[in-house]
Amino acid sequence: RLFNLKELDKTFGPGSTYDHQNWDCGYRYDSGLDNSNSGIPIMNNNQTFRLAVNTLVWIPISFSAIFDNSNNNIMKNNIDHFLNTLSDAQTNFKKSACRERTLDETIRFYTFSRAAVFLRGLETLEQSITNGLNEIHFVNQSLLRIWLCCDAKGDPKNRPLELQKRVYKTEKEAIEYENFLEKNIFHPIYKDMLELQKEYIDLAK
């Protein structure tokens, strides 16, 4: 997503509730996350994991907008339905600005806001607060585990099949990637973090 934005056009996105379409309207957070419109629960509707995958989807998109203005034109003109609600962002951005913002600035604001909303949602999720989950730690550990899976002893062909695809051309492929993250990335990290927390609590007694 960071380096190949054009390839996202008419593909499928992990975490998207709009039949897994790679559309921005499939990534909304209104005091919670809805289930997939396709009727297939995303990662068993685990809010922690869903917020994490949405954060991981939008952070590289945000970086691409920040580092290279040409990517903003790609997002606006070359990826179908990718900035459907940009006009809302333009309105909100103007309200908080002391001057008229350029289109590039608005797209940077829009994509960064998407990433930040999901990360903030992960931080304030009741389950996160109850279990003492640190959202930055969780996302960093997720990236580390994905990188370790991709390393595959230096041979990309040894990577898990779900990590060999540059984009997901069917909904089935997007769901398989979600399932891989849930089983091999998110669940182990969550378990490890809870066990580590228990160790610190026991030591403090």
Is the pLDDT higher at 197 or at 68?
A: 68
At residue 191, what is the residue type? K
Q: What is the mean pLDDT of the chain?
A: 83
What confidence score (pLDDT) does residue 132 get? 81
Q: The pTM is what?
A: 0.85
Q: Which long-range contacts (CB under 8 A, 24 or more apart) does 8-12 make?
A: 8/79, 8/82, 8/167, 9/78, 9/79, 9/80, 9/82, 10/80, 11/167, 11/168, 11/169, 12/168, 12/169, 12/170, 12/171, 12/173, 12/174
End-to-end CA distance of the chain: 46
Most confident stretch, 12-16, 71-75, 101-105: 12-16
Region 156-169: mean pLDDT is: 85
- State percent of the chain over pLDDT 70: 83
Neighbours of 127 (CB within 10 A): 13
